[in-house]
Amino acid sequence: MSAAPKANPPIRTLLGPGPSPVNPRVLEALALPVVGHLDPKFLEIMDQSMAMLREVFQTQNRLALPMSGTGSAGMETCFVNLVEPGDAVLIGVNGVFGTRMVDVAQRCGAQVDTVEAEWGAAIDAQKFKATLEKKKYKLAALVHAETSTGVLQPLDDIAKLVHESGALLLVDAVTSLGGAPVRVDELGIDACYSGTQKCLGCPPGLSPITFSERAVEVVRRRKTKVQSWYLDLSMIEKYWGSERVYHHTAPISMNYGLHEALRLVLEEGLDKAWQRHRQVHEVFVREMRKLELEPAVAESIRAPMINAVKIPEGVDDPKIRQRLYDDFNIEIGAGLGPLKGKIWRVGLMGHGARMEKSRSRASERNEDRGSRRDDRYLRSSILDPRRPDSSIQPRDPLAIAIKR
Amino acid sequence: MSAAPKANPPIRTLLGPGPSPVNPRVLEALALPVVGHLDPKFLEIMDQSMAMLREVFQTQNRLALPMSGTGSAGMETCFVNLVEPGDAVLIGVNGVFGTRMVDVAQRCGAQVDTVEAEWGAAIDAQKFKATLEKKKYKLAALVHAETSTGVLQPLDDIAKLVHESGALLLVDAVTSLGGAPVRVDELGIDACYSGTQKCLGCPPGLSPITFSERAVEVVRRRKTKVQSWYLDLSMIEKYWGSERVYHHTAPISMNYGLHEALRLVLEEGLDKAWQRHRQVHEVFVREMRKLELEPAVAESIRAPMINAVKIPEGVDDPKIRQRLYDDFNIEIGAGLGPLKGKIWRVGLMGHGARMEKSRSRASERNEDRGSRRDDRYLRSSILDPRRPDSSIQPRDPLAIAIKR
């Protein structure tokens, strides 16, 4: 066979559950010259990324580094390192990623109990408390922003309860990190993992994690070997730490990308990044309402970066999403599991959650006719149904897709 | 804290054990627009990469895909999917990667026996045979090109013996794939893994693997769940297969890079790529001899892409390597384990194993004086001690580094 044709991916507006749009500076960083994984200049970049990750995780933890896999590898890293066969683990389950945690923990030989909530609701602290009181758990785990439902889990009460019980607290911050405060130290989160392709605005491929000293101590005192060689932190921390012992060949280019993405977050400032995600989310909800589209999640627990929207009765879900792809190069996410066909998931994450000049097709047509206008509006307002200030009534892509 | 300074990695000549130099076309591909992991255009790219991987692995296997981790994740993928607790596994150990296989297999609960050889020698087929006759093994594993020693393991005899014994054959082709024939179907290799950062000439981050139908059947008939969720092929093949079931978010940009790297290999042609690696290796050995440097591995089992060179008595190993870094931006590899301080490992892989116009510092100085010359010679001849055709006697970096 001969070589395949050159890859020529379209330029999409990525408003799904991730990957999110990538700042061109991050794409450029990916193409920087590759050096060796023990090159002194690469070691410097690693140290800087660790320092920036600590900042983004809001922690003083020594152990904060990107695992060489996607967010799910980060999830598995936490469980394989902290859990030994027979350990009791409590997991909050209200969506795909809580469910996945149960699967991963069981594969480590954990005795798993769950506290469940409906998909689209948060885990109830009182229910969590009642379960914690019944048994001594080694570890309790929760998803901060459930990407499958759009729920932002309140963590304060549960974090306190978990600590009082003596268990370690594990939090999935794949979708929240960089888009909402995660407060690792303030909440006393013992192990936390994230992904690069959400609010950090980097392509998928790495999973930033952080472990508290208490969690590191638990890893050190294991009686059994970590079942995964690839994800064994006792070895990986010797490469990222001062020993620089070779473990595996770090994904150099992806690490350049993450380094630049973290630089972007800290240049803007964490506070401002959180505010931006919140603002864009609020405008989005307002604009959706003009289309008579309702959020699927109660206001107090809405994750700003991943917006679940109820699909109106009688609307053909796959057809609408296909039209957004075909006619507007826009990706939004489908519902998963019990929410399939019931919600759309609109990610407004990282570089995708921003104010910018943008133009609808209709306004482009306007321009062709010579009537130039200032089209400054929010990216999220691609979903705005009408722009009263233009001569041809512009309709946003979703409105067009639904109404056609 | 503020953002770290922008990453500014130096342009190195990567002649270590990997990562190898990357063709600019591959770096450009990394920066292509990111699309979603279920985008129809990305699914096309995945299908093309699978087809190209089959070609490079020389197999008709349906299952041929890149795992979302580095070569060691590929190793772990093979063991976690094929091995269940208590299974008997036989591993050839003659270097770091055979040793690593033992560790990985034991973490899966395997009963591991080994056939060992000195580091720098090949595994002996007769010894392998004798061990295979003593017990019924589920799986036998070997490293094709041992990156830590520079040995290219002859596979024909052992492959035949393993099949006669009824065991599955697992081969590590991390360093050999694309640089020497791996012949998955001809040898009947049941599971094979590689890395992107060696002879495929792509940055590190993905691990191409392939499983025979027989191996896939073993995975299907498992009594226990695969202990790694992230590396569970029964789920991953549903994403890469026609079902397109979401498992984890594929590393989009790295997959663009691999796609372009595979295109480069097939544009050149596998045969030609192997020949090129062989030729450059032969020139390298010849030029080393002029420096009175000797290969550490017997001629019949030398891996062309990873050259182990004996460090002469009295030469300060770390100092020489540091000089190559500092003065010439050249990376070569140190010896590992028992070979530390005894060998250098010079990788001539992928885009790094090539004929090209190149210039020594001395010739640049020449040019400054107005005496331009045609400096066509092999990249490997950066290690050439003298270039008699130039007015200032140029010395190759290694010669300079040693003699200074």
Which domains, from first to last, does chain B contain? 23-267 (3.40.640.10), 269-403 (3.90.1150.10)
For residue B386, pLDDT beyond 70:
no
- H-only helix segments in A58-152: 71-82, 96-107, 125-134
Residue A230 is nearest to which of B69, B250, B267, comparing CB atoms?
B69
Which residues from B are below 8 Å from A234, CB to CB?
none
Could you say which of A10, A69, A203 has the minimum Cβ distance to residue B252? Answer: A203
Whether residue B369 is predicted with pLDDT greater than 70 in this model: the reply is: no
Nearest CA in chain B to A108: B227
Among B34, B48, B58, B174, most A C-beta atoms within 10 A, so best to mutate, is: B34
Nearest chain B Cα distance for residue A392, angstroms: 31
Comparing CA positions, the residue from A9, A144, A174, A156 lying closest to residue A75 is A174
Cβ distance of A19 and B252 shorter than 8 Å: yes
Residue B196, token pair as written in the block = 């992107």
The answer to whether the beta carbons of residues A233 and B280 sit under 8 Å apart is no
Letter for the amino acid at B72? Answer: S
B237 contacts: CB under 8 Å, gap ≥ 6 = B63, B65, B216
**Inter-chain residue contact A104 with B204, CB threshold 8 Å:** no
Position of tokens 């100085």?
B365
Q: B248, A70: Cβ pair inside 8 Å?
A: yes
Of residues A36, A49, A203, nearest to B253 (C-beta): A203
| Residue showing tokens 């290799």 | B189
Question: Which residues from chain A sit within 8 angstroms of residue B267, using beta carbons?
Answer: 2-3
Contact A251 B253 (CB under 8 A): no
| A51–B1 CB contact, under 8 Å | yes
Other Cβ atoms within 10 Å of A377 Cβ, number: 18
Interface of A with B in 253-292 (CB under 8 A): 253-254, 256-257, 259-260, 262-267
Taking a C-beta distance cutoff of 8 angstroms, is the pair A179, A198 a contact?
Answer: yes
**CB distance A53 to A210 below 8 Å:** yes
Q: Which residues of A touch B27 (CB under 8 A)?
A: 30-34, 253
A279 CA to chain B: closest CA distance, Å? 24
Q: Chain A: residue nearest B325 by CA?
A: A39
Å between B301 CA and nearest CA of chain A = 25
pLDDT at B355: 61
Question: Tell me, what's the ipTM?
Answer: 0.91
- State residue A89's pLDDT score: 98
Asked whether the beta carbons of residue A259 and residue B39 sit closer than 8 angstroms, the reply is no
Answer whether B107 sits within 8 Å of A4, measured CB to CB: no
pLDDT band at B296 (very low <50, low <70, confident <90, very high): very high
Residue B228, helix vs strand vs coil: coil
Please report where in the chains the tokens 């999220």 appear, as a residue: A380
CB pairs under 8 A between A and B: 275
Chain B CB contacts of A226 below 8 Å: 107
Give residue A217's pLDDT. 98
Among B285, B297, B343, CA closest to B317: B343
Contact A68 B70 (CB under 8 A): yes
Inter-chain touch B1–A70, beta carbons under 8 Å: no
Compute CA B300 distance to the chain's CA centroid, rounded to the nearest angstrom.
19
Q: What is the mean pLDDT of residues B308-317?
A: 93
Our CA-based measurement puts residue A317 at a distance from the nearest CA of chain B, in whole angstroms, of 16
Helix, strand and coil in chain B, % to nearest 5: 40, 15, 40
- Both tokens of A299, joined, read 């206001």
Q: If phi over 0 gives left and psi between -120 and 50 gives alpha, with beta otherwise, what is residue A188?
A: left
Mean pLDDT of B229-241: 96
What does the pLDDT average to over B313-336?
91
Report which of B211, B233, B212 is spatially closest to residue B222, judged by C-alpha positions.
Answer: B233
pLDDT at A325: 87
The nearest CA of chain A is from the CA of B158 a distance in Å of 27
Query: CA A398 to CA B62: how far, in whole Å?
Result: 39
Q: Is A107 on the interface with B (CB under 8 A)?
A: yes
Give B339's DSSP letter.
Answer: G
Candidates B228, B251, B263; nearest CB to A3: B263
User: Using 50, 70 and 90 to split pLDDT, how confident is the model at B2?
Assistant: confident
* β-bridge pairing A13-15 and A63-67: unpaired
| pLDDT of B155 strictly over 60 | yes
Query: Which among A351, A352, A362 is positioned nearest to A387, based on CA atoms?
Result: A362
In A, which residues are within 8 Å of B197 by CB distance?
Answer: 34, 249
Q: What is the pLDDT of residue B256?
A: 98
Which of B10, B36, B256 minimises the CB distance to A12? B36
Q: Which of residues 327-356 of B touch A (CB under 8 A)?
A: 331, 336
Query: Which residue, among B2, B97, B174, B249, would best test binding to A if mutated, counting the most A CBs under 10 Å from its CB?
Result: B249
Residue A73 tokens read as 């590898």
The pLDDT value recorded for residue B354 is: 79
Task: Specify the amino acid at residue A229.
Answer: W
Q: Mind listing the pLDDT tens digit of every residue in chain A (404 residues)?
A: 689 999 999 999 999 999 999 999 999 999 999 999 999 999 999 999 999 999 999 999 999 999 999 999 999 999 999 999 999 999 999 999 999 999 999 999 999 999 999 999 999 999 999 999 999 999 999 999 999 999 999 999 999 999 999 999 999 999 999 999 999 999 999 999 999 999 999 999 999 999 999 999 999 999 999 999 999 999 999 999 999 999 999 999 999 999 999 999 999 999 999 999 999 999 899 888 888 899 999 999 999 999 999 999 999 999 999 988 888 899 999 999 999 999 999 999 999 997 653 444 434 444 444 333 333 333 333 444 333 333 222 235 666 666 65
Q: Quick one: what percent of chain B has pLDDT higher than 70? A: 87
Question: What pLDDT sits at residue B291?
Answer: 86
Q: Is B335 helix (H, G, I), strand (E, B) or coil?
A: coil
The Cα of A175 is separated from the nearest Cα of chain B by a number of Å equal to: 12
Residue A354 phi, psi dihedral angles, 5° rounding: -155, 160
3-class DSSP state of B250: coil
| Interface check A228 vs B, CB under 8 A | yes
| Nearest chain B alpha carbon to A258 | B7
Could you give the CA distance from residue A323 to residue A328 in angstroms, rounded to a whole number?
7
Question: B233-240 vs B71-82: helix axis angle to the nearest 10?
Answer: 120
Interface test with A, best of B253, B263, B266, B268 (most A CBs within 10 A): B253
Per-residue pLDDT, B399: 67
**Res B325: pLDDT:** 87
| Pick from B95-99, B237-241, B330-334, B384-388: least confident | B384-388
CB contact under 8 A, B3 and A225: no
Q: Which of residues 140 through 169 in chain B touch A, CB cutoff 8 A?
A: none
B230 with A45: Cβ contact below 8 A: no
Average pLDDT over residues B259-266: 98
* Residue-level length of chain B: 404
A199: Cα separation from own chain's centroid: 6
Interchain contact B181–A (C-beta under 8 A): no
Q: CB A233: neighbour CB atoms within 10 A?
A: 25
Closest CA to B230 of B23, B80, B117: B80
**Cβ neighbours of B2 in A, within 8 Å:** 266-267
Cβ distance of A253 and B250 shorter than 8 Å: no
Q: How far apart are CA B330 and CA B322, in angstroms?
A: 9
Per-residue model confidence (pLDDT) at position A151: 98
Cβ of B29 under 8 Å from any chain A Cβ? yes
Average of per-residue pLDDT values in chain B = 90
What residues of B are in contact with residue A41 (Cβ under 8 Å)? 8-10
CB contact under 8 A, B7 and A32: yes
Tell me, yes or no, if the pTM score tops 0.90: yes
Q: Which DSSP string do the residues of B76-102 spell out, in sequence order?
A: HHHHHHH--TT-EEEEEESSHHHHHHH
Contact B56, B233 (CB under 8 A): no
In 10 A of CB B272, how many CB atoms? Answer: 11
**Residue A287, pLDDT score:** 85
B5 by Cβ neighbours in 10 Å (0-12 / 13-18 / 19+) ranks as: exposed
Spell out which residues of chain B touch residue A108, defining contact as CB-CB under 8 Å: 227
Band of pLDDT at residue B230, cut at 50, 70 and 90:
very high
